[in-house]
């Protein structure tokens, strides 16, 4: 009986020792595979390594360096275990030569970046928050745009990766099947537009003429009413507002700088003034105006929903590459001008797409939407 207990005792000790050995070995392997030296030992990792070494996460005035695992491996828990298990596939891909050169790396850049973004989103940017705390930030000492975005993040419960994509590694080119860099406006109606009870909307920046032949530059979404169609051209009324001293511009609303048309000098004389108002907000005189214009039918559409889809798609595709999409009704019409101008250079938007996006956001801004109810 005593011998049996002794056997059980030593067996238990041996099993505990084996278990401890396995545990320590796993821990050692986990620790070693977390090292930057291990990460960059793969040939394919030489490309992101170059980008990391030129980033603020590698070298900065405070002397704080974020290594590969600091950003890509959650510090603990199930997310840590999941990241380590899924990383096995990266070793397999390396062995199979999935990314033998830079061309292959660029080909897969979007796929890899999207996977990392999705993982960080799922973990509420756990790796970012291990160093950066929104609650600990002195937001008042940040730049104006950073203050705005961090306050917005607090209010809407956004996570770090919503805005901070591409902070270390170059952002990927969006593939053709995902991007909408060349979004087309709603297609031209094949048949002659006859129902003049519906307003018409300009699809893109285009040129119209006044009754005396002067040129008018119509902006996307410019709304035309009381129109007639001769089969080729539309003759219609453009309604809007002009601010005193800036008669070359027609805006959609009083005091709101939603541009609908730009007038050349000769066209200004064709504008009919309906009434004049002193606007307290802008502290200036505004005139409600009408202008008769002629424009080819092909430049116009009756489908405002399709036109709005173009603007929304631009917002969803281009603006979401750096931060969470901000809904149009978050800012006022006038605020959107500065917001878009501060962000446009970070996107691949053309000048016309910037104009379409700006006017879409302005037309659906919080002060426009609220006034419609």
Write the pLDDT tens digit of every residue in 7-49: 666 777 777 777 767 766 666 666 666 778 888 787 788 888 8
Which residues make up each annotated binding site?
39, 42-43, 68, 71-72, 128, 131-132, 160, 163-164, 319, 322-323
Which residues make up each annotated binding site for heme?
39, 42-43, 68, 71-72, 128, 131-132, 160, 163-164, 319, 322-323
Residue 21 CB neighbour total at 10 angstroms? 10
Spacing of C-alpha 83 from chain mean position? 27
The CATH number of the structural domain formed by 304-370 is 1.10.760
Q: How far is CA 366 from CA 114, 251, 334, in A?
A: 31, 17, 10
Write the pLDDT tens digit of every residue in 109-124: 888 888 888 888 888 8
Minimal CA–CA distance to 131: which of 220, 45, 60? 60
Is pLDDT of 1 > 70? no
pLDDT (average), residues 80-105: 82
d(CA 158, CA 112): 22
Parse the chain into domains and list their residue ranges. Answer: 34-162, 200-301, 304-370
The pTM (predicted TM-score) of the whole model is: 0.56
Is pLDDT of 355 > 60? yes
* Residue 75 DSSP symbol: S
Is pLDDT of 183 > 50? no
Write the pLDDT tens digit of every residue in 192-211: 666 677 899 999 999 999 98
d(CA 373, CA 214): 37
pLDDT (average), residues 81-86: 78
d(CA 316, CA 327): 9
Is pLDDT of 296 > 80? yes
Angle (CA) 72 122 82, round 5°:
55
Mean pLDDT estimate for the chain: 82
């Amino acid at each position: 009986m005593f011998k049996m207990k002794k056997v059980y005792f030593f067996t238990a000790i041996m099993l505990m020792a084996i278990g401890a050995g396995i545990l320590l070995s796993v821990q050692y392997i986990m620790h070693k595979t977390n090292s930057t030296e291990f990460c960059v030992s793969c040939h394919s990792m030489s490309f992101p390594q170059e980008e990391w070494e030129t980033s603020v996460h590698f070298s900065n005035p405070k002397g704080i360096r974020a290594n590969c695992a600091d950003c890509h491996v959650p510090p603990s828990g199930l997310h840590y275990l999941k990241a380590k298990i899924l990383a096995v596939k990266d070793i397999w891909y390396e062995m199979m030569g999935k990314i033998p050169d830079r061309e292959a790396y660029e080909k897969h850049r979007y796929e890899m970046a999207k996977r990392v973004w999705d993982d960080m989103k799922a973990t509420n940017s756990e790796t970012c928050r291990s160093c950066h705390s929104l609650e600990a930030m002195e937001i008042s000492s940040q730049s104006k745009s950073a203050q705005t975005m961090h306050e917005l993040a607090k209010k809407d419960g956004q996570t770090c990766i919503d805005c901070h994509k591409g902070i270390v590694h170059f952002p990927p080119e969006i593939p053709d099947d995902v991007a909408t860099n060349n979004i087309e406006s709603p297609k031209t109606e094949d048949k002659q537009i006859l129902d003049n009870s519906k307003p018409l909307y300009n699809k893109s920046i285009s040129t119209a003429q006044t009754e005396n032949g002067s040129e008018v530059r119509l902006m996307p979404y410019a709304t035309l009413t009381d129109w007639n169609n001769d089969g080729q051209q539309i003759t219609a009324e453009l309604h809007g507002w002009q601010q005193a001293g800036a008669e070359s511009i027609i805006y959609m609303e009083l005091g709101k700088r939603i541009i609908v048309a730009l007038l050349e000098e000769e066209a200004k004389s064709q504008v009919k003034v309906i009434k004049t108002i002193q606007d307290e907000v802008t502290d200036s005189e505004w005139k409600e105006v009408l202008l008769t214009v002629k424009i080819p039918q092909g430049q116009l559409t009756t489908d405002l929903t399709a036109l709005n889809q173009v603007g929304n798609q631009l917002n969803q595709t281009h603006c979401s590459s750096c931060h969470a999409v901000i809904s149009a009704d978050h800012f006022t019409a006038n605020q959107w001008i500065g917001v878009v101008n501060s962000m446009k250079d970070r996107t691949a938007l053309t000048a016309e797409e910037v104009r379409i996006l700006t006017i879409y956001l302005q037309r659906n801004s919080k002060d426009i939407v609220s006034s419609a109810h």
